[in-house]
Amino acid sequence: MDFQLIEQEAWKRKEYFDHYFKHVPCTYSITVKLDITALKDKKLYPTLLYGLTTIVNRHEEFRTSMNENGQVGVFSEMMPCYTIFHKDSQTFSNLWTAYTTDYTEFCARYQEDMERYGNTEGMMAKPNAPENTFPVSMIPWTTFEGFNLNLKNGYDYLLPIFTFGKYQQDNGKYYIPLSVQVHHAVCDGFHTSRFINELQELIDTLGA
């Protein structure tokens, strides 16, 4: 994993970054319903994690972050850090799984992480999460039309945040809500729309 610093004076987003990070700090979220009918024979959570991570790794605006010195750069690769629920304690834990472009191998790595750390309670069930992870949450008990996280220090957080809800059936098809929360300094509506469209296309392909 590399973190390549951005030469801001030559950066095509410099004007937009300065505006939405320094002058008018702005994050936004959008919630959509993904058609997951094609995934009815797949394990849903690891498949969705694979889909998110694949599209995140296609586009640098979803891999843009800041290092400990406040310098802006782009990770060469991202991995998902996702929540799992413990029924007994009604608490959750975070796990992360190393990414690979091979879908079957990624699902195998996910299963290994679940078997090793899935019953470990505490915020970080799998230790030593690397810097190049992005957060994913699952709320499988309710569906929603909109979802927004209110982060006290959110205006300094550049990576995307994803939240899934409970899937529902409608006219023989299955839909799941997905909230995508991003920082406007690095990600415009075009980029978010492209992400959602490409994710839907990948879901359709994985189920083919």
The domain containing residue 30 runs over which residues?
A: 22-61+78-207
Evaluate whether residue 106 is within a structural domain.
yes
Evaluate whether residue 167 is within a structural domain.
yes
Evaluate whether residue 4 is within a structural domain.
no
Evaluate whether residue 86 is within a structural domain.
yes
Evaluate whether residue 69 is within a structural domain.
no
The predicted structure's pLDDT at residue 153: 76
Cβ neighbours for 169, distance < 8 A, ≥ 6 positions apart:
175
**pLDDT tier for residue 10 given thresholds of 50, 70 and 90:** very high
Helical spans, DSSP H, in 73-147: 103-117
Evaluate whether residue 111 is within a structural domain.
yes
Evaluate whether residue 143 is within a structural domain.
yes
pLDDT at 208 over 90: no
- Mean pLDDT across the stretch 176-185? 98
The predicted structure's pLDDT at residue 116: 97
The pTM assigned to this predicted structure is 0.96
Evaluate whether residue 70 is within a structural domain.
no
Q: What's the total number of domains in the chain? A: 1
pLDDT in tens, 38-90: 998 999 999 999 999 999 999 999 999 999 999 999 999 999 999 999 999 99
pLDDT in tens, 103-148: 999 999 999 999 999 999 999 999 999 999 999 999 999 999 999 9
**pLDDT tier for residue 151 given thresholds of 50, 70 and 90:** confident
- Residue among 86, 183, 184, 191 flagged as catalytic: 184
Burial class (CB in 10 A: 0-12, 13-18, 19+), 181: buried
Helical spans, DSSP H, in the chain: 14-17, 44-56, 103-117, 189-206
Other C-beta atoms closer than 10 Å to the C-beta of 28 total: 15
pLDDT at 1 over 90: no
Active site residue 184: yes
**CATH code for the domain in which residue 111 is found:** 3.30.559.10
What is the 3-state composition of the chain as percent helix, strand, coil, each rounded to the nearest 5? 35, 30, 40
Task: Give how far the C-alpha of residue 76 lies from the chain's centroid of Cα atoms, to the nearest Å.
Answer: 16
